[in-house]
Amino acid sequence: MRFIYTKAFAFFSVCVAIVAIVTFLEAKGYGGPIQAVFINAPRPVAAAVSSLARPVRNFFSTVYNLKKITDQNVQLTSQVYQLQQQLADFNQATRENQDLKQELGFVAGAKNQFTPCTALAQNPLGLTDTLIINCGQDNGVTEGQGVITQGYLVGKIIYAGKTSSTVLLITSSQFSSDALVSSTGDSGVVEGSFGSGIILDQLSQSAVVNKGDLVVTAGINPQIPKNLLIGQVGSVLSAPGDLFKKATLVSPIDFSNLQFVFVAQ
């Protein structure tokens, strides 16, 4: 009789009672509504949990997508920079090829011998109008030789090293060279004007000089060939009472952006 008072008997009794109640309800036709209650009871809870979890899920999804978009943006930005650099390099190479083609075209038709050189540095010390080129004694370059670009005289060698040289530009106040007006043969001296231009000086007062006249080298200095273009007369500066006639010269060369030059041999 002790079994009746045990926990196992109590559990067994509860199970029997539940089975009996369920059987009775099924027999009376109440089983379906009760099942529906138990099935649908968790749904509001599930809906509430889902409504609470949705913003959290959306937040983390947004964070992930933002990180992904940021990574893609960084990658695309890097690609844009690379393409821009390639385009800049291509444009620079194109300009250099065009400039070099023009230079070589002039040299091919010239009577004198010229050594092609590349500009390494422009006015490195900031004191005078000078240019460092990659040609030196190994290339036959010596002091005093004329330097041209696009057929125009741009300077002369003032120092010749073993593999590089220094060019004094024609715009320097320290530069001077013989010259003449091509249409009349009147001779003078070409000088720089403190980096701001070129002056044709020491012309005879009887010399006829007009705006637009071409001025070329006179060939007195054997290291600077004759008939190299220097520029065109801009305006006459001297007055009738001056000892010599003076005029400004205009050159088409951009002296601040020299890339390729030729040294006259």
pTM of this structure: 0.60
Residue in the structure block whose two tokens are 């006249």: 213
Mean pLDDT over 57-82 rounds to 71
DSSP states of 72-124? HHHHHHHHHHHHHHHHHHHHHHHHHHHHHHHHHHHHHH-SS-EEEEEEEEEST
pLDDT digits (tens, 9 = 90+) for 99-137: 555 555 555 555 678 899 999 988 766 657 899 999 999
Sign of CA dihedral 83, 85, 87, 89: negative
Average pLDDT over residues 42-54: 57
Instruction: Determine whether domain 114-264 maps to CATH 3.40.50.1240.
Output: no
Q: Any idea where the domains of the chain sit in the sequence?
A: 2-40, 114-264
pLDDT tier, 53 (very low <50, low <70, confident <90, very high otherwise):
low
Question: Where does the pLDDT of residue 208 fall: very low under 50, low under 70, confident under 90, or very high at 90 and above?
Answer: confident
∠ Cα 21 22 27 (to 5°): 100
**Is there a contact between 190 and 229 (Cβ–Cβ < 8 Å)?**
no
Q: Please give the distance of CA 222 from its chain centroid, rounded to a whole number.
A: 42
